[in-house]
Structure 1
Amino acid sequence: MSDAILKDAPGEGRLAHAPASHPPVARKRVGVVLANLGTPDATDYWSMRRYLNEFLSDQRVVDYARWKWQPLLQTIILTKRPFSSGKAYRSIWNTERDESPLLTITRAQTEKLAARLKALYGDAVEVDFCMRYGNPSTISVLEQMQARGCERIVFFPLYPQYGSPTTATANDQAFRALMTMKWQPAIRTVPAYFEHPSYLRALANSVEEAYRDLATRPSKLVASYHGVPERYLLEGDPYHCHCQKTTRLLRETLGFDEEEIDTAFQSKFGPEKWVGPATVEHVAELARQGHKHIAVISPAFASDCVETLEEIEEEIRESFLHAGGETFSYIPCLNDRDDHVHALVEVLENELAGWLSTSR
């Protein structure tokens, strides 16, 4: 960040040592890119098919041999699944903006984060967001960042717990973008932050606030995480361990007894054995055991999405009530809560150290 720039126009200038004929250059900044999972552009069959094809063709998500998986995906799964997935998305779609809730929320998170970082670093930082699947694409956002003068970029996958189908594939896509650039920006990736005290405090705050508004205190809080095949754990992916530790740290932050909170996993896909217990089955068993009032939180998601707004709020809720439960309370993801944004800022301050210094 040492080259002096004489300001010409907003965002542009001339290098102090360059001749007057030198074309304007973008002022040097550090970029921060939030990376979320992804979203279809619409809920119709072809939009869903394009999105699902990109998602399910990612070998971080489904790591079967391509010669086995692709014929099955293209001829059977992508013939049927766009209809059911489109129906699920339509039930939660933000019709006012004509976009998925995940896109709406990620934009709001980015805007709040940009304001907080601007207060700390001024115009030296540029903030944007991308999606691993769908739009805005990772490659397009990183190229835009570079064009705006970001020679250094902090790439922030919005996954508190590290997982190869989430954190790793987001980073993979960022590195693929670098492979296409003649002049690569320097890049840092943000590690898992599930142990960060401010993240845990924000999670605990969301539970405490939800419990205060309920007429009857839940006898069980279920922390539901997106599942992965058990094989991933055996092959060295730390995701399952990170989830278990998140639940324990959340329990300690809340001051709950061990029997007040459980860990479960949702969104099973395919014939393999997955880590468990499965949330949809676990909540039904809790109802049969006499737990009539439960709450569910989803600590693995930074933003509400189809897995929370449709799967938890509809399928998992129905499973609990059908088994005899009476009150099912879903506690929303942290989304753009101020305490969540504060936690993200604290994580980023650590990763920006050495590149930028705060104004405070």
Structure 2
Amino acid sequence: MKKIFSSLLFSIFLSIFCITNAYSWGFYGHRVINRMAVYTLPPEMFGFYKAHIQYITENAVNPDRRRYAVEGEAPRHYLDMDIYGDSAWLKLPHRWKDAVEKYSEDTLMAYGIVPWTVEKFRWKLTNAMERGDAKAIIRLSADLGHYIGDSHVPLHSTENYNGQLSGQYGIHGFWESRLPELYALQYDFFVGKAQYVENTQERAWEAIIGSHIALDSVLRFEKQLTQQMGDDQKWSYETRGSTTQKLYSRPFSKAYHDMLNGQVERRMRQSIKTVGDFWLTCWVDAGQPDLNKLLLSDKEQEELDKEMKELEPSEGQSAPTLPQKPREHEGH
């Protein structure tokens, strides 16, 4: 049985590697999370989600694409908890209305709104299931998975999101891109069956709070290792396609990965489980509709794919610059 699971996992990852050459939580990681979450679902949901697993996998990055097309999209991906002081989760109201009354909407948008975004898209997905809108269900499932994934990244919980305030510039891509690229095939992503969430709002907050708690070791271990190994051992050059890139070296990456003691794997596993749990909860709250009656035809699938293609910048065309706000950075 173990060999069967290993073969299945390898096939899943192989297909994802073929989908994209970009390795980051924003691309590779998000696609892994959404794809593996499908396998947590009960039989009543699995048929529908499995039939559309390619779309849900490939379009796990749609919210990142929208950063260049939709005003107000960027703050949905993070929450600068340190801006609000120590124990921010005790000071920040978890209900959006209460938070706006206390801090103003402008302040919240400036420093990120990811837990409120997760709850908003949870409501949208539930509503789509109630309406029996298959295209919306697929699209919103992919989007919700993305925001939940972002909530589980420690560097999405801090103003120092790329180490730019601590002399560790580039650590964001290192943690969420380089390490999964090197070690994801060693991870165990079979996280069990999805379970109903009684309080989705608090579950969304648990994710970003857990990320913020993990932040200290993310930054501290990298700094310690840099002091121990030095820049000569920290960096290397690798050829990818027709370009040569400066990357964190494999010895440095392994040492850092070992110091983190499974942290990246744990956060990815928790992301997968939470995504599956939220999809299931939306379905239950919607009255457990028969999703098998909502399977898209080939024509409907083509229409959905076309809609999402319109969000992507044209080939060879640079994306427009976003309005300047704290953290409107491509790496966050």
TM-score of the alignment, normalized to the shorter chain, above 0.5: no
Larger relative contact order (Cα-Cα within 8 Å, sequence gap ≥ 6): 2
**Of Structure 1 and Structure 2, which has the larger fraction of its residues in helix?**
2
The structure with more radius of gyration? 1
**Of Structure 1 and Structure 2, which has the larger fraction of its residues in strand?**
1
Scaled by the length of structure 1, the TM-score of the pair is 0.27
